[in-house]
Amino acid sequence: MTRTAPPNVGADQAFPTGVDLLHDPTLNKGTAFTEVERDALGLRGLLPPHVHTMEEQVARVMENFRRKPTPLEQYIDILGLQVRNETLFYRIMTEHLEEMMRIVYTPTVGEACQEYGHILTRPRGLFVSANDRGRVAEVLRNWPHEDVRVIVVTDGERILGLGDLGADGMGIPLGKLILYTTCAGIPPTQCLPVTLDVGTDNEMLLKDSLYIGLKQRRLRGPAYDDLVDEFVAAVQQVFPYALIQLEDFANTNAFRLLKKYRDAVCSFDDDIQGTGAVALAGLYAAARETGVPMTEQRVLFLGAGEAGVGIADLICAALCDQGLEQDAARGRCWFFDSHGLVVDARSDLAPHKLPYAHAHAQEADFRAAIESLRPTALIGVSGQPGTFDRPVIETMARINDRPVVFALSNPTSKSECTAAQAYEWSEGRAVFASGSPFDPVTVGERTFQPGQGNNAYIFPGVGMGVIASHARLVTDEMFFAAAQTLAAQVTDDDLELGRLYPPLSDIRAVSARIAAAVAEVAWRHALAGVERPDDVLGYIESRMYQPAYRNYA
């Protein structure tokens, strides 16, 4: 049933009543509908008699959530709330972010993607498959919301450190967009998760009767490029103000797609640029703790894919900003991949590694490379658990008074080392950050609260800044500004606790400031589509979605 929208909805349009209203997650208030609303909207008898406050509803949800025996069961439970009552879901996310982020994002989202076809209850997001070629715009028009401002899209080939999960990778765009709303206040109706289902080369999925995607090998070459091109063009046609975030594409596609689209449409790759910004912010904070200035850092990466090169590129931009020439800046960044140290004598290097292939003897042993290069910081982006073993950490601690150790691979099962290992093997001297959360660690008389170098500190604020300014493009300078802004919000108290990032409880304020800095870049370079307001931060904050019920009576 429908009727004219209530006055406080603000639109003279068809408005659902009765069970239709209760089944609309964007409007549903559940047991919080007032007596007057129940009479006006045909809800009398469809709800239990008692009218609950939102606070009481939150208490009920959290009580049941905490009863669930495993993180995966908690994921199923809380994502079920999202499709029933969106406002209540986001109130819980904002009030219990640290607890919830472990579930809707890393590390649990990785397990959820691995089990996605087996836990699916109600499909969410848009699946654009290889069978939709020639009609992708038509598929996009099936989305129920017209004012889409941010799209997170994956082809599922490199989900976290788990590899090819095909259409089951939809959990990643869903989780990312939950954080866009929770952390930066982008309205959920402006967010669209998309999976490009181009097949999978995962044998287990191809044999799984419950797999939700196309049971065929992945498209490659021109057929793949044609589908991606059609998707990008369709977005420009159907959602012309949307930002496109590329997510978890394999190295073979990620770098070239970013290069292809970055100067043509409003887009970025979070695995490359977002990871680069959050790691750079951590290095800025670490420099305050170690006393080693950025221009004197020597960084050794374990892993030379999207994340590592994205971080190195932004580090080089920061060093050039501080006066170094580009060649000198690149000389501060070294890579160690599956075949050993990346050096200029190797003939097997992919194009994205070549700028960091320096003159040096080949080295196949990682610890020997540390001994030779004497880095001030290790950054793990390999997806290989346990590779920062005790000899590696002890070597770093012998070379450096305060060794910087970033174990950034996700999920937790892929981390190069744990927080406890980094602190204990360095006798409490390591300056540590990780991609997934770790519990506090006590070494001697000091307790460390390790910081999580999570992209959630960066991409929501960048997205809000782009949307608020109507930026036409997303530039590297925007990510540089985001990194500087994030680092500036790390306090001395945070550093004393061993934390290189602000507490997650502050993330909405952090994201607002990042958004303001990003928007300022857009205005400074004539990339914005709206005039600059006098109070940029106030303008950003006024646009942020607040998860509160509307009065329909």
Angstrom distances, CA of residue 325 to CA of 6, 277, 298, 328: 62, 20, 15, 5
527 closest CA partner among 459, 458, 475: 475
pLDDT of residue 380: 96
* CA–CA dist 35, 43 (Å, integer): 9
Task: Flag whether pLDDT at 405 surpasses 60.
Answer: yes
CB of 543 within 8 A of CB of 468? yes
Decide which of 124 and 436 is more confident.
124
List phi, psi (to 5°) of 400: -125, 140
* CA–CA dist 409, 415 (Å, integer): 5
pLDDT tens digits along 75-111: 999 999 999 999 999 999 999 999 999 999 988 999 9
pLDDT over 70 percentage in the chain: 98
User: 176 an active-site residue?
Assistant: yes
Task: Flag whether pLDDT at 4 surpasses 80.
Answer: no
Structural domains of the chain, ranges and CATH numbers in brackets: 2-98 (1.20.1370.30), 99-265 (3.40.50.10380), 273-454 (3.40.50.720)
Instruction: Spot the catalytic one: 176, 414, 457, 501.
Output: 176
Residues 189-193 have a mean pLDDT of 98
pLDDT of residue 252: 87
Residues 143-152 have a mean pLDDT of 97
Residue 417 exposure: Cα atoms within 13 Å on the Cβ side: 27
pLDDT band at 446 (very low <50, low <70, confident <90, very high): very high
Instruction: Spot the catalytic one: 29, 75, 90, 105.
Output: 105
| Helical packing angle, 54-67 and 86-95, nearest 10° | 70
The SS3 assignment for 159 reads: strand
User: 68 an active-site residue?
Assistant: no
What is the pLDDT of the chain when averaged over all its residues?
95
pLDDT tens digits along 270-310: 999 999 999 999 999 999 999 999 999 999 999 999 899 99
Task: Flag whether pLDDT at 2 surpasses 80.
Answer: no
Angstrom distances, CA of residue 301 to CA of 20, 54, 258, 360, 539: 53, 47, 22, 16, 39
- What is the end-to-end Cα distance of the chain in Å, rounded? 17
pLDDT of residue 437: 86
